[in-house]
Amino acid sequence: MFGYRVPSPDQAMLISGGRRGQGGAPFRVVTGHGKFVLPVFRKVRFLTLAMCESEVAEKCVTRQGIALTVRAVIAFKVGNDTESIVNAGQRFLSDQEQMSILTGRIFAGHLRSIIGSMTVEEIVTERQKLATEVLETSKTEMAKIGLIVDSLQIQSIDDGDTGYIEAMSAPHKAAIQRQAQIAQAQATQASVEAQQEAARNQAEYSRQTAVVQAEYSAEVDRAQARASQAGPLAQAHAQQEVLAAQTELAERRAQLRQQELVAEVVKPAEAEAERIKLLATAEAERMKIQAEAAASHDRVALDRMLIDQLPQIVKEASAGLANANVNVLNGTDGLGEIAAGLVGQGLTILDSVRRNLGTPGASGNDNAAANGSGNGNGAAHSGRVEIE
């Protein structure tokens, strides 16, 4: 748009020709936004706010009188506040390159001042301290011209041909070299030890590998041997099991045959023997019973016959008394005794006949006959029968 101006982000727009700016400045400062500017009546200029750089290479003398050439780099810029922009604009707006030149000169002076109060050892070993002191001493002057320093870097310190820094570093170099040699020797020793250890490890690994391979080969051989024996062993076990099964089958068949023989021969034979025994026992018992019955029948028949003949026997015995002279001393009792004696004699004769015939029970009858005879005799005696 006509008359509307906008500064870049790293610029400050300075407008002159109108009312004065802040603090009686001859221009107004515009940053970060645009502004209408009347043509012809107003004039616009731009001041850079970007980072600038200045290099310093200054020959300085230390507190020891040693001349040193110090090289440094200063990074600076115009401050962002209005006051700094006004101060920098009044000094550098027409020639902004002068900011780097002036800054280098300011820092060169401060470097000479601060290095003059330090020794070479301090400067070499404490560069950051040197840079900090230079920044602190130059801050006020830089603020007056509207500049601020972001950093100061000491790039190099050179003593020329004096060799002071070289001599100063010699002990350190020697120590460093000694340490380097020691480190190298230690590294070499460590390397040798590492190589020896690696060789031992390699030998141990080779030994273990050989052992493992031998064990593996032995295991393979054993496995092959077992595999080669597995077939015959399996066949032998199978044959053994077949034989065992056949033996068991034969035993079972023999037991079954034995049971069959027992059932077919022994049991029937035992049953037949038992039957014959029972029949024989029954027959013997029957014959015994028949014999006893027959003997009993014969004895009964004989006894009956003898009993039937007893009167005749007694009669014959009494016939012998017919012509005898018998004296009965006691009357009726005497006659009874005589009769009883005759009967006893008959019984005695009967027993004699039984004995001659072998008839059982004769001995008992003998006793009875004897008793009868005795009784007869006694009766005869007691009856006082006298036969002449």
pLDDT by residue (tens digit) across 314-341?
A: 566 556 555 555 454 555 555 566 556 6
Q: Phi, psi (5° rounding) for residue 122? A: -70, -40
Confidence band for 31, pLDDT divided at 50, 70 and 90: confident
What percent of the chain lies above the pLDDT cut of 70? 74
In the chain, alpha helices (H): 82-92, 98-115, 120-125, 127-144, 164-261, 267-319, 331-357, 362-382
Both structure tokens of 246 = 């056949």
Q: For 92-104, what is each residue's pLDDT tens digit? A: 888 888 999 999 9
Candidate from 61-65, 96-100, 283-287, 301-305 with smallest mean pLDDT: 301-305
Phi, psi for residue 67 in degrees, rounded to 5: -80, 130
Q: What is the mean pLDDT of residues 9-18?
A: 82
Q: Are 279 and 271 in contact (CB under 8 A)?
A: no
- Percent pLDDT > 90 in the chain is 7
Between strands 147-158 and 67-78, the pairing is antiparallel
Q: How many CA atoms lie within 13 A of 27 on its CB side?
A: 24
CA angle at 24 for the pair 23 and 27, rounded to the nearest 5°: 105
- Determine the Cα–Cα distance for residues 318 and 320; give it in Å rounded to an integer: 5
Beta bridge partners of 73: 55, 153
What pLDDT, on a 0 to 100 scale, did the predictor assign at position 2?
Answer: 61
Segment among 72-76, 332-336, 342-346 with least mean pLDDT: 332-336
Helix pair 127-144, 98-115: axis angle to 10 deg: 130
This prediction has a pTM of: 0.42
CB 17 within 8 A of CB 28: no
Type of residue at 105 = R
* Range in 50-59, 195-204, 227-236 the model is least confident about: 227-236
pLDDT at 53: 92
Residue predicted with more confidence, 320 or 32:
32
